Structure 1
Amino acid sequence: MAPLLPLARRIDALSEFVGRWVAWLVLAAVLISALNAVVRKAFNTSSNAFLEIQWYLFAGIFLLGAGYTLLRQEHVRIDVILSRFSKRTQIKIDIFGILCFLFPLVVAVLYLVTPLVITAYTSGEMSSNAGGLIRWPVFALVPLGFTLLGLQGLSELIKRLAFLQGLIDDPTQKKQEKTAEEELAEAILAAETAKKKEAAQ
């Protein structure tokens, strides 16, 4: 399993990269929503394209962010039940879930949705609403999002198997970045420690 750990790290890096860029879609959705509201109230006009692009952005946030969410261990878990088991048992349950539920779901979605995306692209399918948008880009988010989710699932499987072999630490610990306050406190503490060392010399 050790040779596969670099692959898991590369997948994690990809999920981290995608997740950070997808976060900007939230800002885009908010700005478009605000602009649409202002135009509708100020000029008594609107466009279905404005409404649909908000739906597209929401789909992008939800689908493209799924792998990042799995990386961060933020998907819904039944911790009330799992917490009663040992860590190794919890990891084995995770492995079972990945193999028997996550991977089959990803394969089924890709199998069923990909032909629809191809058909929508080749036909140039448009929204049925007046002034609506072309449909294939939002359709394409489904297989893309599930591919990213499947890749992250593979990474999580590798890490859990490596944990059972004693190669890495617990991969189920949530990855939390330090807040600005924590970083500031650490910087102040480091500066004070440095001053004390200089004074002692």
Structure 2
Amino acid sequence: MLLRWCKFAIATIDTLTEYTGKLIAWLTLIMVVLSFSIVVLRYGFNLGWVAMQESVLYFHGIVFMLGAAFTLKADGHVRVDIFYQKFTRVQQAWVNLLGGLLLLLPVCLTIFFISFEYVLTSWQIMEKSAEAGGLPLVYINKSLILLLAITLSLQGIAEILRNIIVIKGEQS
């Protein structure tokens, strides 16, 4: 019963992360087109708008902050470990399990709790860009910090459960 619940939780979190990853892929394309447009307008027609330039920064924030969980799911984070690659699957699962429990989740929780007041204050004052003509959405952009902690924690939990299943000898 517990194994079935773990597999359901893993599948649910993985599905959420996959949808987020697909959204981020499209947002990345939009960001590239927007960046190209800014360059063409600026250097080709001597036109530019602060809001348009800031929107690229917002897209970068979305892509990097929300992309972290998808990268974790895809096992795309950088590993500099000469031993890990030679470990058995169970040994790798132990390293991943301990890393998730002792490093990933505590860091995510710390980011969330340290940033909560910062983001809340930004929402309370409905923080806007300091630049004339800038976007009035700084508070939404700062909310990405909390979303990073939440999505990365969720995917971390899925990875922890997946590694427990591997250690127990079940296939995920």
The amino acid that maps onto 2:148 is G
Distance apart, 1:85 and its partner CA: 2.7
Equivalent-residue separation in structure 2 for 1:93 and 1:34 (angstroms): 42
Q: Deviations over 1:7-54 (max 9, x none)?
A: 111000110111011101111111111211222123322111111111
Coordinate RMSD, CA, aligned: 1.4
The amino acid that maps onto 1:155 is A
**Secondary structure of 1:80's aligned partner:** coil
Q: Deviations over 1:63-85 (max 9, x none)?
A: 11111111111111134221233
TM-score (norm 1): 0.79
Paired position in structure 1 for 2:22: 20
TM-score (norm 2): 0.92
Find the partner of 2:154 among 151, 156, 162. 151
Alignment of 1:21-170 (within 5 A): 21-134=23-136, 135-169=138-172
Q: Which ranges of structure 2 fall in alignment gaps of 5 or more residues? A: none
Equivalent-residue separation in structure 2 for 1:22 and 1:49 (angstroms): 21
The amino acid that maps onto 2:43 is K
The amino acid that maps onto 2:12 is R
**Secondary structure of 1:83's aligned partner:** helix
Q: Which ranges of structure 1 fall in alignment gaps of 5 or more residues? A: 170-201
Q: Displaced runs of 4+ in structure 1, greater than 3 A? A: none
The amino acid that maps onto 2:76 is E
The amino acid that maps onto 1:21 is L
Paired position in structure 2 for 1:193: none
Instruction: Report which of the two structures shows the higher radius of gyration computed on alpha carbons.
Output: 1
